[in-house]
Structure 1
C-alpha cells in the first residue's frame, strides 16, 4: 500500500511531507544515528556476530553449525537485490535537505540496519538463558533501528515513508529468517547427537 501511494502520489505522500517538515532538523547527532545504517558500520557488526555464533555452535558440536550464520549472510546479501529495483520503480525524489536526485524509496540504510542488527539479535537469542536477557536484546535491537530511522528523517536523508516501507519489508524478511532458524534448531535437536559431544 505504501509503495502504491508513493508511485501514485497519493494522499499519504502529502501527510508524509508534512511530517517530514515537522521533524527535519539536520544536526550532528541525527547524522551519527543515520550512520548506524551505513553498510560500512552495520555489515561489519553483523560479520563479527556471524563468526562468533558459528564458532560457538561448532565448539559445542552442533550439527550444521554453519547454517544459521550462512542464512543470515544470504539474507543480508539479498537486501540490495530487493531494495534497488524498488528504488528504480518508485523513482522518488529526496527531501529538500539533500541534493536533487531520485531513488530514495525505500530507504537502503534502514533496510541495512534492520537486517544486520535484526539478524544479530536472532542469532544470539538461542544462546541467552533467561527470558529477561532475550527481551532486553530485542528491545535494544528495536531501539537501535528506531534511532537509525529517526536519524535518517531528522537529518533529511529520507522521508518518513521511505523508512517505514523498509521496516515493513524487513519485518517480513526477518520473520522468514526466524522461521528458518527455528526449524533448523528443531531438526538439530531431534537428530542424533553429534560425534563432537562425546569424550575425547
Structure 2
C-alpha cells in the first residue's frame, strides 16, 4: 500500500506539473461536476477539512485516549499521542512547498497553488489519527470507517463546491496515505528493533 500510494502520487504530480493528458481529463471532469450539488450540502462537507474542525476532533480524541489509557492500564500512552500530534504539522510542511512549486490555478478561485489540497490532507491526517487513537479503547471497531467516510466526504465536498480539481484531492490522499503508512514500513525494515526487542 505504501508503494502504491507513492507511485500514484508521483504519477498524479507529474501529470499536473507537466500539463499532461490526465490533467486535461481532470479539468474536464471538474468542470462537469462543479456546483451540480447545492452549496448548502457541499460547503459543510468541504468545511470538514478546516483548521477549526479537523484538528479539534483530533484534540478531543487525543485527550480521551490519554485519559482512557491511563485509567485502563495505569500508564499514559504517550507514544501514539506524540505520533498523532507530530503528524498534523506534516501537512503544511509538505503541502506548502508543493503548492508553491507546482502553482496550479484553481478551478473557480483566482490565483495559483491549489495542488495538492491542504484541506483534504488536514482532514485525512486528523480523522485517521483520531481513529487510531481511540480504537484500542472501543468495544466495536467503528472509528476507522467513520474516519474514512469523513475524509472522503471532505474531498468530495471540495470538488463539488469548486474549491479543488479532483486530482488535487487524489494527490493529497496518495501523499498522506504514504505518510501515515511510513511508520509501519519503518518497523518492518530488517535491523529495526521491534517493541520489546534489543539490538545485539
TM-score normalised over the length of structure 2: 0.83
**Do 1:71 and 1:177's aligned partners in 2 also have CA atoms closer than 8 Å?**
no
CA deviation after TM superposition for structure 1 residue 63, in Å: 4.7
**Do 2:65 and 2:134's aligned partners in 1 also have CA atoms closer than 8 Å?**
yes
Aligned pairs for 1:104-119 (under 5 A) are 104-119=114-129
C-alpha change, 1:77 and 1:92, in structure 2 (3 Å) is same
TM-score normalised over the length of structure 1: 0.83
CA–CA distance in structure 2, aligned partners of residues 120 and 179 of structure 1: 20
State the match for 2:3 in structure 1: none
CA–CA distance in structure 2, aligned partners of residues 157 and 55 of structure 1: 38
**Do 2:66 and 2:76's aligned partners in 1 also have CA atoms closer than 8 Å?**
no
1:128 aligns with 2:138: yes
1:50 aligns with 2:36: no
1:27 aligns with 2:39: yes
Q: Which residue of 146, 171, 174 corresponds with 2:177?
A: 171
CA deviation after TM superposition for structure 1 residue 62, in Å: 5.3
State the match for 1:77 in structure 2: 89
CA–CA distance in structure 2, aligned partners of residues 89 and 123 of structure 1: 34
Cα root mean square deviation, aligned:
2.2
State the match for 1:147 in structure 2: 153
Tell which structure's C-alpha radius of gyration is larger: 1
C-alpha change, 1:180 and 1:79, in structure 2 (3 Å) is same
Q: Which residue of 10, 16, 22 corresponds with 1:12?
A: 22
CA–CA distance in structure 1, aligned partners of residues 65 and 178 of structure 2: 23
Q: Which residue of 3, 15, 35 corresponds with 2:13?
A: 3
CA deviation after TM superposition for structure 1 residue 176, in Å: 2.7
Secondary structure of 1:39 counterpart: coil
